[in-house]
Structure 1
């Protein structure tokens, strides 16, 4: 037997999902390859939120006896959803669009290589590899990263490890003297 009762005041995930479909999905061309990819990824994002909803409970009763426990579902913290999507992004599936003819044309996402698993509804997908931002590419307007200043102690985007693309880097130490107002 359940020793808690549903509070009924959960955050309305269905409304949020409908709103995101009406607001984000409506702009996508459902016939284009890019639109099909974006609609899939949008749905994966909604599933990331839904799958991380948290049950929160509160006890009620005389002097802390917890004779009635009321529970509800709460949206996860943005950091939790973001971390999950970041992990999914790192393992995104390279796909192509395949036409299936069963009465009418149905366009489906399939792995670029036949030996790879088909992406599920929570996987993020992509159609083209990202360009190499380390090297200059005039056609795409990419300047490359050679000659840029990096932060040796940073693990972020400005860090030498990422910004220098494994080419190594030179360290310069500068002394700067100025008079203090002692």
Structure 2
């Protein structure tokens, strides 16, 4: 079984109270643990914990969604978003770019799951948005008009738009409220990356339309807004990870700035970090690195999964394995596909 499939299965089977998304002693994305630690708290977080059990269920789904996507995006890298809890805790203690991606993809996952539940009618607190969407402000905001291919006099807002505003609101209330009164650099980075993850959804809403008219004439179209797929969100955040900006605390103590004066100040949609990442080549209990020994590499690749890159130039070994697969398949009328079973040999390379 491929490592990414194993990771996804482990995440789906793991109980919430055994969540590996933790930062030292402060569990950041285990809903039940957060609520347990804030029993005497007041405000929106306390209200969610006490009264909105359906919302907590969707938040848990969002955490799993983000974790699974993280494993997919990093499956071919030295750090593969491991599900090993002790390793992840050590990694999340530091403010590396990997931590920034985890915080961003998880905030996006929580927003996505809540919004999707609203559209499906699974939450009593919300529903889909109907009618004309409210305009988005700011540069790079999401689309609020149909594509140019739709004549302006032949469409109208309708249908059931994804209620992303509710998803954004609840994600902020649950994930950010405990940190709002702090202004240390770690907290500022965490909140910034949470917001960067949410903005990928907000700024990439797409328009869907349905035709109305006799015999498919499409004399009128009803249009609504939909979220992108979560794979598209993960792809965009991976690109942000590649261009992440290293920051330091500003002199006022309430903001941050790029470490180098030659680097452009990061925008709201950028992932930021303050500590350099380990190389993840060798096991290291202090940093949480598990190393890459035994990982499969791609001898014909020039990317992050190449044997030189993944094995940190330590070398690799060749192994030939025998497998069976369907072959010489034929379609038999009607309606069956008949295949033979063939033995094949496959060469694999694993890091030393």
TM-score range relative to shorter protein: 0.7 to 0.9
Query: Matches of 1:42 and 1:72 in 2, distance apart?
Result: 26
- 2:307–2:316: 8 Å Cα contact kept in structure 1? yes
Indicate yes or no: 2:295 matched with 1:150: yes
| Bigger CA radius of gyration | 1
User: Considering only aligned residues, what root-mean-square deviation do their CA atoms show, in Å?
Assistant: 2.7
CA distance in 1, matches of 2:243, 2:276: 13
User: How far apart are residue 32 of structure 1 and its match?
Assistant: 2.2
Partner Cα separation in structure 2 for residue 143 and residue 60 of structure 1: 57
Q: Are the aligned partners of 1:150 and 1:159 in contact in 2 as well (CA < 8 Å)?
A: no
Which secondary structure does the structure 2 equivalent of 1:39 belong to?
A: helix
CA distance in 1, matches of 2:295, 2:203: 38
Q: Report Cα offsets for 1:109-147 as digits up to 9, x if no partner.
A: 2100111100011111001111222145454454544xx
Taking structure 1 as the reference length, what is the TM-score of the superposition? 0.79
What is the TM-score of this pair, normalised by structure 2? 0.43
Please name the residue that 1:38 is paired with.
Answer: 190
Moved more, 110-119 or 152-161: 152-161
Alignment check: 8 A CA contact 2:298 2:305 kept: no
Distance 2:226 2:290 in 1: 44
Q: Residues 26-55 of structure 1: CA distance to partner in whole angstroms, max 9, x if unpaired? A: 233632211100111111111101111110
Could you tell which deviates more after superposition, 152-161 or 72-81?
A: 152-161
Partner secondary structure for residue 99 of structure 1: coil
**Which consecutive unaligned segments of at least 5 residues does structure 2 have?**
1-151, 323-352
* 1:93-172 → structure 2 map (5 Å cutoff): 93-100=245-252, 107-137=254-284, 139-140=286-287, 142=289, 144-145=291-292, 148-153=293-298, 160-172=307-319
| Counterpart-to-counterpart distance in 2, 1:88 and 1:67 | 41
Question: Which of residues 66, 69, 75 in structure 1 aligns to 2:221?
Answer: 69
CA contact (8 A) 2:297 2:311 kept: no
Unmatched runs of 5 consecutive residues or more in structure 1: 101-105, 176-182
- Structure 1 residues 140, 81: closer, same or farther in 2, change over 3 A? closer
* Residue of structure 1 aligned with 2:173, choices 7, 14, 22: 22
Is 1:12 equivalent to 2:163 in the alignment? yes
